[in-house]
Structure 1
Amino acid sequence: MPLVIIRFALNYKKLPYRTVNLELPELESEFKKVGIPPSSTWPDGRPMYSSPSIFDDSTNTGVSDSYKIAQYLDKTYPDTPELFPPGTEALQATFYAQFNELRVPTFPILIPTFFRIMNPPSAEYYSQVCARRYGKPLADYEPKGEERVEAWKKVEASYNILYGWLSQSKGPYFMGDTITFADFAVAGMIYAVETCIGKDSKEFKDLMTWNNGRWAEFRESVEQYA
């Protein structure tokens, strides 16, 4: 999910960039080489290196974490379209904190599927890390049958809340006709579902009909930056 958020941001700002694909076991060593900091810490206190992260050759700066990267891009390239227009910083920080809670119901659906779209080295690493973190194999973490139906109801409830906020806007985005980081964050969640369970899956097709098809419209409105 976070990967596409930064691609959205860079394309929106029309900043040139090059994507470097790494396997998950390579992140720490490769990031240390160029000075990209960890994005967080593991429960045992070890530094956690994750993607997306960027290294800006023009400033010799490495940044990790989607929100921090977006802030960095606005600060470093003020002549490009803003992700945090003046006066929206606090509101977007509040939005993002709430959004991170609302996306939690998607985890049981998405987390067990990520490894299926990874190369073998990353898939093996990811499966092992998740098994340790959740105390059971990924196959046992994924909801099935009636449990999956209930899980999707929780996901839909989150989208209903987001729709309630979005419906207060008079334009296609949360700030009307102005696109912001908040829009890219929500779009990232939609794209993650599409990528992991498939755009032709019944569940994703159902999502596109929720709230009178508003999320299909929303997805289409940001597709130009994908």
Structure 2
Amino acid sequence: MTEKSKLTLHDIPSMLSDKAWSPNTWRVRYVLNIKSIPYETQWLLHPEIEPELRRVGAPPTIHWILKTETYTLPAIYDPTKNAGISDSNKIAAYLEETYPESRSLRVAESIDFVDSYGRRLNEALFLLLAAQTAENLVPETRPAWREKRERAFGVRLEALAEPDERRDMLLTDVLGVLTDIDAYSNSKGDSPFIQDDELTYCDVVIAATLTWTRRVAGVDSDVYGLIMEVHGGRWKWLMDRFTEWEIVDGV
């Protein structure tokens, strides 16, 4: 694949050394890395997102927090098909269909799991991590990102996980979702993967969410540390397996 035929992954930068933080964009980045599909990242500040997505033909999506059609990331542009695609699940399905010679992640079979368990885990962790996520964003993007979400929730992001009793309840909710995922899994104990001891898009979605958790809360945070300990350490085992695919191009 030539430089001109590389896919473009649109992402929003953070203050992290390699900039990548978003759980939904990590879904796509992991899929691209696992499938060894060449791509480059275009980093977009908040006001740049809508014009760029309009330019490449990537449509708006319904944002789960904002409840309106919004031009949001991730999105990709495939110059070989002149195709702009948004929404992480639709992008994963597109990559699976368009690049069948690459490693299959059984995306179509995984969507019910993603829409249920993946969404629940993202939403539970967002309430815990919203303020830390905002503080990790670059200064040019932080105010607009924070303002839209505070308007949707009606409180400052810090208040979503306050006081300590509420934070403890939210952490219990997160562990409850992971317990349900652990019970859902039909792996036989010799693999950290969720379905049939085989890497699928189900694993990608959970790993992407936990990657976001570690990156914004910190590897030594109580949230991430507790998740790594529960269920016999299976989530640490999963994250260890994903280390080889936690790659940001150009870094």
Identity value in percent: 27
1:93 aligns with 2:115: no
1:151 counterpart letter in structure 2: L
Name the SS of the counterpart of 1:19 in structure 2: strand
1:159 counterpart letter in structure 2: L
Residue pair 1:172, 1:218 contacting (<8 A) in 2 also: yes
Deviations 1:30-71 (A, max 9, x none): 111221211226999863111111001111100001110011
Deviations 1:70-106 (A, max 9, x none): 1100111111111227xxx3x4222112111343221
Identify unmatched segments of 5+ residues in structure 1.
none
1:163 aligns with 2:182: yes
Partner Cα separation in structure 1 for residue 136 and residue 51 of structure 2: 23
Q: After the TM superposition, which residues 21-36 of structure 1 pair with which residues of structure 2 at under 5 Å, given as runs? A: 21-36=43-58
Name the SS of the counterpart of 1:18 in structure 2: strand
- TM-aligned CA deviation for residue 225 of structure 1: 1.2
1:73 aligns with 2:95: yes
RMSD (Å), alpha carbons: 1.9
- State the aligned residue count: 221
Q: After the TM superposition, which residues 136-151 of structure 1 pair with which residues of structure 2 at under 5 Å, given as runs? A: 136-151=155-170
Residue pair 1:25, 1:121 contacting (<8 A) in 2 also: no
2:235 counterpart letter in structure 1: W
Sort the Cα spacing of 1:206 and 1:82 in 2 relative to 1 into closer, same or farther, 3 A: same
Sort the Cα spacing of 1:157 and 1:141 in 2 relative to 1 into closer, same or farther, 3 A: same
Q: Following superposition, which runs of at least 4 residues in structure 1 exceed 4 angstroms of deviation?
A: 41-46
Q: After the TM superposition, which residues 46-65 of structure 1 pair with which residues of structure 2 at under 5 Å, given as runs? A: 47-65=69-87
Partner Cα separation in structure 2 for residue 27 and residue 184 of structure 1: 25
Alignment-derived partner of residue 3 in structure 1:
25
Range 112-121 or range 63-72, more displaced? 112-121
Partner Cα separation in structure 2 for residue 207 and residue 42 of structure 1: 24
Name the SS of the counterpart of 2:40 in structure 1: coil
Sort the Cα spacing of 1:152 and 1:42 in 2 relative to 1 into closer, same or farther, 3 A: closer
Partner Cα separation in structure 2 for residue 57 and residue 186 of structure 1: 29
1:142 counterpart letter in structure 2: A
Alignment-derived partner of residue 208 in structure 2:
188
Of the candidates 168, 175, 179, which is equivalent to residue 199 of structure 2? 179
Alignment-derived partner of residue 154 in structure 1:
173
Q: TM-score, normalised by structure 2?
A: 0.82
2:59 counterpart letter in structure 1: P
Partner Cα separation in structure 1 for residue 97 and residue 44 of structure 2: 27
Alignment-derived partner of residue 207 in structure 1:
227
Report which of the two has the higher share of helix: 1
